[in-house]
Amino acid sequence: MTEPLLRLEILDSVASTSDLCRSRALAGEGAGVAVLAREQTAGRGTGSRTWQSPRGNLSMSVLLRPRERLEGAAEWSLLASVALAEVLAAHLPDPAVLALKWPNDVLLEGGKCAGILTESSGTPDGWIDFLILGFGVNLAVAPEVPDRPTTCLAQYATAPDPVAFGQKLLESVETWMARRQKAGFAPVRSAWLALGPPEGARLHLRTGAETREGRFAGLSPDGRLLLATAAGTHAFAAGELLAPLSGSV
């Protein structure tokens, strides 16, 4: 039987699973360790946001060292989203309630159920030194956040044990890693688009201090968001999609 590429370690409580993976990476830890904490006391979201991680939810980070150029690191966030959506869909009576929000959120009927924090460190010559995929999934509890609706899997089905869910998620990540290695990013992109916003949906995208309005025009071959505006179609490697406008399609 083939040994799994990703090895799961289970801890009771840590400040941040991603911070722990980062410290291990800097100390020379090899690729493939996945740290799952039953509780995080200082979980992090994107930007300066915090991520509440009570017991019963999933807090897990994965340390990878792909031998790739640093500019391809953004593809991994979409790969992680697709892998997570696949596992969540298997628990939902109606998987149609699930959607993906670029670049790193999983929604259930518009409420945020999960977020993925992808962090990378590069070498001086532009290669990835290490990559960390941090998963925060509301399985049993949906902590409130001030600027967006939240939900949890328990509002739709029986919440699974975080360790069992984490193990299934690692298997899904491995599967998508193998597909990407064999066929490139295209299968990941196609799977993401099947769960992303409909073509032409009106979006607000914040990039730094600027907010742009446009219509969703898909993803570029390397996973950048394509936004069609009056001035043309633009590709964005990073940014935050804000609450949709009324009449968003």
Q: Mean pLDDT over residues 117-137, rounded?
A: 96
Share above pLDDT 90 across residues of the chain, in percent, rounded to a whole number: 77
SS3 per residue for the chain? CCCCCCEEEEEEEECCHHHHHHHHHHCCCCCCEEEEEEEECCCECCCCCECCECCCCEEEEEEECCCCEHHHCHHHHHHHHHHHHHHHHHHCCCHHHEEEECCCEEEECCEEEEEEEEEEEECCCCEEEEEEEEEEECCCCCCCECCECECCHHHCCCCCCHHHHHHHHHHHHHHHHHHHHHHCCHHHHHHHHHHCCCCCCEEEEEECCEEEEEEEEEECCCCCEEEEECCEEEEECCCEECCCCCCCC
pLDDT single digits (tens) 162-213: 999 999 999 999 999 999 999 999 999 999 999 999 999 999 998 888 888 9
Which pTM was predicted? 0.92
Domains of the chain: 7-195 (3.30.930.10), 202-241 (2.30.30)
pLDDT band at 20 (very low <50, low <70, confident <90, very high): very high
Confidence of residue 144 (pLDDT cuts 50, 70, 90): confident
Is the predicted pLDDT of residue 35 greater than 60, yes or no? yes
**pLDDT class of 247 with cuts at 50, 70, 90:** very low
